[in-house]
Each structure stands twice: as structure tokens, then as C-alpha cells.
Amino acid sequence: PLTMTSVVAPPIKLSITASHDGGNIQLVSQTEPIISGRTAKCTVKLNIKPDVYTDFEKIAHMQYFSIRSFVSGLEDIKIFNVTYVIDNADKVSYPEAWPGTTICETSGSLEPSDDHLWKRNLSTKIVDGKLTWQHVHTTNGSTFFSYFPPYTYNRHLKLIADCASSIASERDINYKIEALGQTLQGREIECIVVGNGDKIAWVIHRQHPGETMAEFFAEGLLHRILGIGKDGDLDDITKKVLDQYRIYIVPCMCPDGAVLGHLRTNNVGANLNREWATVNPEYIAPSMERSPEVYAVLKKMDETGCDFFLDVHGDEELPYVFLSGAEKTPLWEESERLKYLHGYFVSCYQRANSDIQKAIGYPPPDSTEDALKYMNVATNQVSNRFKCLGLTLEMPYKDCETNSDPSVGWSPERSKQLGSSLVETLDSMHPYLRAEGEFWTEFSDGDHYVEPTDNFKEDGFIMLTKRFYSDVRPHDA
């Protein structure tokens, strides 16, 4: 006789992990799915894991997170609505940055070919000190949620391999890759060197490992100046710049912290952008024991010299791309030269890429005395050490207000494009970097330096007290 077998659908299962390269999260609790017809819902509570405690700043930084959420058992259930809650959002380094933040999500992979699949979750909000968002899972499989899309170490190695392959086929331009040293966990600190010119430019990225947009920027820059993806073909402006400069590019200053999913420190708690000089006699910096990344790069810079320096970062709070310089440091105060170079650079970059703006950014220190406390910051140290234009470029974690696109926000693609656009800016700057006399009389009024403010207009933003160089705001002020 014919027998009927009933098939029981497997139970819905939601698994939260952060074991992927650069992942960061701790599962606090998860409710059992409540099923009603063909829909289900549950709530997941999470905590961000802190970086290793940093002795210099006396804080265990945290804010960056990256999660893989894997769903199975949706055979009969068509809609699985999950509320994600980061319980310790009020304990992060920059809690004032959460208003206006939208987290990034993708059901694609972490491979470069899927960069375009990252979108913003517009349900993101901060409620009673907790960051929450809703996601409707309609199929089995994984979804990644991140503060900003990860730039994995495997992708970093692929970038280095692509650079090496391009360099091996190039004969007309002086290219090379060298390892400046190793991190404390044994990863190489790679530097790509390109160009035949008379000016020395250094561009470093991702001193703070959770600022992943910085390495997307590096990828955009390297792809253009090496012709990666274009069979080595270079456009005319790139060829000109490589005749003007010898460029030293470090795509990732903090690979150990990047793999660990840290926000701001390496594996022993060093915030690399506070390791460029000793400002406290009880804290010697840089050192091979705590910050070999900075030690190695600064040693090489002392060998090569430097005519232009750019340090590429991301900022949690301000929804803009902006540049911060060596304002109020001794070199800045010595003459008007650095101020005019700074203003002209920002103007030239703005003409090359409309995401750049002048008005919003970190406010400068009030005095040279205040600035001297921050001579351990890369831009200040390099500018004064080599008497050159040095700048810190900051990209937003949020949507970029100058060219708003809420559904995507600031993205890997826009970060790469901003890196590519640096080429035009370097071309414009070349005649002036070491020019003598009052060369700035050639600049238009619109090219002059504008002192920035961080008091932008956004619902929920509260001006607490002035902070410098991405310092944590003092919340007892």
C-alpha cells in the first residue's frame, strides 16, 4: 500500500559570528523566533568588543564592528524580521557619532566584485544608548552587517600581488615594492614606490584599522597609478605625475589591528597616530616593542626625505570629507607658506573631486602650546620634521552631505574614486611644494585657507567641547 510521509520543516536558526577577517562582535542574547503563519521575528543583543587598552590615552577604544548573520530553516517561513541591538553603543569611543549613522549591509561576499552590493540600513537608530536596526531575512544564507564594509587582509594581499604583477611588467617607470619591516604579529609593512620625479611624496593609510575606507582609498590610488585592471595603461595626467614625483605608498599601516577587528590600535594597544614622537617622557615613541609600524615608516622617511605627506583616515562623527593640517605647530606659525599650501591643496582636490569641502573639519588648536601636545600625530610630526606640507584626510562613516546618497552613503566605490582623484591634485601642487618667495600671490581668493569648524547642522548633534585630531571628546566637560 502507498504510504504518505510528512516532512517537518527544520526550525529557524539564526547564527551570529565574527570569525571572518576583521570581524568584531560578541553575542549577548537571542530570543527564540516567534512564528505567526509564514512570518517570524526575533531580537538579537550584541556587544562590540574593545581594542586592547592603550596606555597613552588610558582607554580601550571600540566602535568598529562587523558581523556575519547566518539564517537557515526558512523553507516555510517567508519573512524573518530580526531586530539587532548593540547594547554597549553608549560605551564606545565616540557615542556622539551615532546620530545620523546608518550601518552597512550586504548579502554578497567580501570579495571586491561584490563591493557594489553594500547598502545602508535606513532603519538604524540610537535608542536609550543602544544602536538598533531591523533586517528582513527572506532566504537562507548569510548577511554581513558592518560599521563600514571590511577591507580584509586577503584583499590586502591581493592588492599587493596585483601591484607586484603590474610592476613586473613595467619597464619605463621606476617601480618597486619593499617591506619596511614587520608588525608584532609578523605581518609585512609593505610600501609601493613609484615614479621618477624630483619631489618625494608619502601617502599612508589605515593607521586606525577600523577606518577601512582608508584602504579602499589606497586601492583606488594604486590601481590608477599602476594601471591595474587596464593592462598597465596610464592616462596622461598619471604619466605626468610619475615624472614629477617619487611616491611612497603604504596601503595599510596597521594590519594586525585590521585582522583583529580593532577600531584604533594594533595588537598591543598602540594608537599608531599617537606614536610619531615622544611627548611624554614616560612614554617613548615610536618603539620596536610597541609600534614597529611607525618606527619602520619613519626610519624610511628619514632616508628618503619628504616634500608632501598625506595620512588617510575615516571619521566617525562628521558627515563630510575633509582635510586637517599642521595648524598652529611651529612650522605653521613660522611663515604663511604652510597655510597657503594647505588652502591651495584643498581647493585643487575639491576641483578634482566634488566630495571634498573646506568649511567642516577638525577645529585647529587655540595656540602653539596646545599644538605641541600633539607632535606625536603623524601630520604634525612629518610636516615639522621635513618642513613640508602634511595633511590628514578624513572620510565619513556616514552618508557624505556634500553629495548625499542615503541608500548607499559613503562607500567603498567613492573611497576608491577619492584615492584616484589625488593624482590631479598632486599635479596641481607640484610647482609650489618647495617654491620660494610669496608664490601664493598667484592663487585666487577662493584658493585660500579656510579655518574649519566641526559645528555642523544635524539633528541630534550636540557640541560638547572642542576635540583635536580625532581625540575622544572629554564627556565630563
Q: Are 96 and 458 in contact (CB under 8 A)?
A: no
Interatomic CA distance for residues 411 and 117, integer angstroms: 10
Helix (H) or strand (E) segment spanning residue 34: strand 34-36
| Inter-residue long-range contacts of 330-334, CB under 8 Å, 24+ positions, other chains counted | 330/368, 330/372, 330/384, 331/383, 331/384, 331/387, 332/371, 332/383, 333/368
How far is the C-alpha of 474 from the C-alpha of 51, rounded, in Å? 19
| 451 counts as catalytic | no
Q: In angstroms, rounded to a whole number, what is the distance separating the alpha carbons of residues 144 and 68? A: 5
The tens-digit pLDDT sequence of the chain (477 residues) is 444 443 445 689 999 999 999 999 999 999 999 999 999 999 999 999 999 999 999 999 999 999 999 999 998 899 999 999 999 999 999 999 999 999 999 999 999 999 999 999 999 999 999 999 999 999 999 999 999 999 999 999 999 999 999 887 766 678 899 999 999 999 999 999 999 999 999 999 999 999 999 999 999 999 999 999 998 899 999 999 999 999 999 999 999 999 999 999 999 999 999 999 999 999 999 999 999 999 999 999 999 999 999 999 999 999 999 999 999 999 999 999 999 999 999 999 999 999 999 999 999 999 999 999 999 999 999 999 999 999 999 999 999 999 999 999 999 999 999 999 999 999 999 999 999 999 999 999 999 999 998 887 655 544 445 556 677 654 433
Look at residue 73 and give its three-state secondary structure.
coil
User: Where is 313: in which H helix or E strand?
Assistant: strand 308-315
pLDDT of the residue at 471: 76
Please pick, among 105, 317, 394, 401, the residue that the annotation labels catalytic.
394
How far, in Å, are 139, 225, 433 from residue 330 at the CA level? 59, 34, 18
At 432 the pLDDT is 98
Quick one: pLDDT at residue 1? 46
Which pLDDT score is estimated for 413?
Answer: 98
Measured between alpha carbons, how far is residue 118 from residues 31, 81, 413, 446 in Å? 27, 19, 10, 36
Q: Which residues contact 339 (CB under 8 A, 6 or more apart)?
A: 332, 449
Torsional sign, CA 404, 406, 410, 412 = negative
For residue 284, the tally of other CB atoms under 10 A from its CB is 13
Three cell numbers, residue 22: 576583521
